[in-house]
Amino acid sequence: MPVQNPLFLGVARSALGQPWRQRLDGPGLALAEQLVQVEGLNDTLARVLAARGVTGPQLQGFLEPRLRDLMPDPSTLVDLDLCVARLAHAVKAGENVAIFGDYDVDGACSSALLARYLAAAGARARIHIPDRLIEGYGPNIDAIRMLASEGATLLVTVDCGTTSHEVFSAAKRLGLDVLVLDHHQAPVDLPDVTALVNPNRQDDLSGLGHLCAAGVVFMALVGLNRALRGIGRAQPLDLMGELDLVALATVADVAQLTGLNRAFVRQGLAVARTRSRPGLAALMDVAGLNGPLEAWHFGFLIGPRINAGGRIGDASLGAKLLMEHDEISAREIAVQLNDLNRDRQEIERAAVEEAVAQADQALQSADGPVIVAASTEWHPGIVGLVASRLKERFRRPAFAFSLAPDGSGTGSGRSVAGVDLGRAVRAAAESGVIVKGGGHAMAAGATLRPAGLAAFSVFIREALQRAVDDASAVDGLMIDAGLTAASATPRLIAELAAAGPYGAGSPEPTFVFGQHRLVDAQVVGSGGHIRVKLRSGDGAQATGVAFRAADQPLGQALQAQRGEPIHVAATLVVDRWGGGERAELRILDVATPQPAQR
């Protein structure tokens, strides 16, 4: 059995049914103390850094990550030099280059990044983003025929294409050279193309498997920049000025925020804050961004609006927005995406309600390791979001499928830490249980055969049982430190930001406000949020929000314990209102103090 970190405040079972555990073990606490004594850090920041393994000698490089220190030679990626050589030829010849991207944020950013560079360098670049309902995921033969008929001589797929054998064979017959820039998990057998750059192909030893597709495209363009300089060509585009696209894609695709990715996001945020890209600036405005742009805004405000086009509207809108130079046109596209996102939220809300009911019923008869929900009524564009909500609620991997009348369908899965979903789905495809499928450790997609849901459910549960059991053995909410209402300040949040950006692989610090009286808890907004007010023993107060919690165990616990002492686990954000700033809690969980603690 894995060694468990000690319980925090003795909480073995919270309102969400999970233990709270100290993120730091014994050696971690010693490291935190060393950072306080030797480096002069405050205790809370020291604990956060120690929990992420940052030692004194690493401190400056971690707090100020520089791309030039972390950027490897692009040629360490398998096939990258072949890819660069073909792109350089396309630039010199002024070729028509067709860019085929995925319909999510990573695909839009990757497509826009590559198209902007190639156009500036002298090639003629044309982006095609497939329609989710009509074309489905990845390259398809009809689209390739269309692109070839328009005069394309080079096809570059971004954020897709690693397993597209038949389509690329057809592309070759049509006279197209093919380059693949991808990051999804790859089988041993790869398509026959000019170059396939993917740090997750099994013969790639670059150690860059944490990059999203936009990160891979950026690496390729750094290599292309070098090649063009070698033949006396001036740099066509300032690649550092394009890091806002790489940062947005990295966060929205839930890539690990460690190493190179962390530098991408830190420097990309600085670029985005200049509002130099009209499309991003317009989207920030329509999203109601209040205050300086932070990494979480990419994931929760900007990303969902770009994704809305690919989910329920025009899949090309995201890439168009990111390519747009005119502020008025950018505003029009941003408003359209914002409206689509509002529609998406309504569609998602109804589907999640049905999916939760299915899951509750299934778990009453058997406590399976994976949730699998499906309906003929769900829009294919929102199944990934439904799966994410199921995963959050039931704390186990979850799939949601949109089914056709014959029982075929498309679906998405979301996983929990320690459970590799992409590998299991790829195994299902290789064994013939599903038509096709693949993805990452934390997210995957699958296409079902007619009446194939039952077979997939059996396969995926058997495939993931042991991994889920192991993950459950170390399940729990990891706590960085305890705070009081008085100590939660904008200044503390600013100090903690130095250890960010936070996200996948570098979780947002979680704090516990122990034995605070729950002065009030009220439902606010149409989304069922709970707004709370806490008071500590010294009389200091803090406010917080539990999002989408009103009808959940968390919201029910908050409403039932008004006026009582309570332990609250939360992250911290700065709330800016009326020209002022205050710290606000984003509530994750609550627990009732044990009688002996009262």
pLDDT tens digits, residue range 42-63?
999 999 999 989 999 999 999 9
Q: 464 is written with which tokens?
A: 């993931």
CATH ID of 366-473, from 3.10.310.30, 3.40.50.300, 1.10.287.3510, 1.50.10.10: 3.10.310.30
pLDDT of residue 91: 96
Across the range 299-309, mean pLDDT stands at 95
Q: Are 391 and 398 in contact (CB under 8 A)?
A: yes
> Alpha carbon of 207 to those of 152, 210, 214: distances in Å?
33, 8, 16
Q: Where are the domains of the chain?
A: 1-23+476-598, 25-63, 70-249, 366-473
Q: Which residues pair with 165 in a beta bridge?
A: none
Following DSSP, what letter does each residue of 12-38 receive, concatenated?
SS-TTS--EEES--HHHHHHHHHHHHH
Across the range 274-301, mean pLDDT stands at 94
CA distance 306 to 129: 13
CA distance 247 to 271: 9
User: Residue 498 CA to chain centroid, in angstroms?
Assistant: 21
| 541-546 and 580-591 strand pairing | parallel
pLDDT tens digits, residue range 203-229?
999 999 999 999 999 999 999 999 999
The packing angle between helices 303-312 and 278-286, to 10°, is: 90
> What's the count of helices (H) and strands (E) in the chain, helices before strands?
21, 18
pLDDT of residue 576: 83
For residue 183, give the 3-state DSSP assignment: coil
- % of the chain at pLDDT higher than 70: 99
pLDDT band at residue 526 using 50, 70 and 90 as cut-offs:
confident
Q: 359 is written with which tokens?
A: 């899951």
pLDDT tens digits, residue range 481-515?
999 999 999 999 999 999 999 988 888 999 999 99
- Cβ neighbors of 77 (< 8 A, separation 6 or more) are 197, 199, 204, 206, 208, 216, 219
Q: Which of 547, 554, 542 is nearest to 493 (CA)?
A: 542
pLDDT of residue 565: 96
Q: Which of 134, 133, 114 is nearest to 125 (CA)?
A: 114
pLDDT tens digits, residue range 374-422?
999 999 999 999 999 999 989 999 999 999 999 999 999 999 988 999 9
Q: Which residue has the higher pLDDT, 528 or 151?
A: 151
pLDDT of residue 439: 86
Across the range 94-109, mean pLDDT stands at 96
> Alpha carbon of 431 to those of 75, 400, 436, 456: distances in Å?
34, 21, 10, 11
pLDDT band at residue 3 using 50, 70 and 90 as cut-offs:
low
Residue 501, preceding peptide bond in cis (omega within 30° of 0):
yes
Architecture of domain 1-23+476-598: Beta Barrel (2.40)
Q: Which of 130, 136, 128, 120 is nearest to 152 (CA)?
A: 128
Q: Which of 181, 152, 147 is nearest to 164 (CA)?
A: 181
pLDDT of residue 44: 96
Q: Which of 454, 450, 385, 391 is nearest to 419 (CA)?
A: 391
pLDDT band at residue 2 using 50, 70 and 90 as cut-offs:
low
Q: Which of 373, 498, 374, 475 is nearest to 418 (CA)?
A: 475
Q: Are 121 and 237 in contact (CB under 8 A)?
A: yes
pLDDT of residue 597: 46
Instruction: Kindly report which listed range (169-183, 274-288, 360-374, 444-458) carries the lowest average pLDDT score.
Output: 360-374
pLDDT of residue 494: 94
pLDDT band at residue 133 using 50, 70 and 90 as cut-offs:
confident
pLDDT of residue 598: 45
Q: Is the pLDDT of residue 1 over 50?
A: no
Q: Which of 21, 22, 574, 95 is nearest to 296 (CA)?
A: 574
CATH ID of 70-249, from 3.40.50.720, 3.40.630.10, 1.10.3720.10, 3.90.1640.30: 3.90.1640.30
pLDDT of residue 317: 97
Q: Are 580 and 7 in contact (CB under 8 A)?
A: no
| Shared fold status for 70-249 and 366-473 | no
| 124-128 and 96-101 strand pairing | parallel
For residue 452, give the 3-state DSSP assignment: coil
pLDDT of residue 426: 92
CA distance 77 to 420: 23
pLDDT tens digits, residue range 61-73?
999 999 999 999 9
Give the DSSP H/E element, type plus range, for residue 560.
helix 553-560
CA distance 414 to 435: 19
Q: Is the pLDDT of residue 536 over 50?
A: yes
Q: Which residues pair with 590 in a beta bridge?
A: 568
Residue 389, CA atoms < 13 Å, CB-side half-sphere: 23
pLDDT, mean over the chain: 94
pLDDT band at residue 291 using 50, 70 and 90 as cut-offs:
confident
Across the range 323-345, mean pLDDT stands at 97
The packing angle between helices 213-230 and 80-93, to 10°, is: 60
Instruction: Kindly report which listed range (27-41, 531-545, 583-597) carries the lowest average pLDDT score.
Output: 583-597
CA distance 427 to 396: 20
CA distance 227 to 230: 5
CA distance 435 to 11: 45
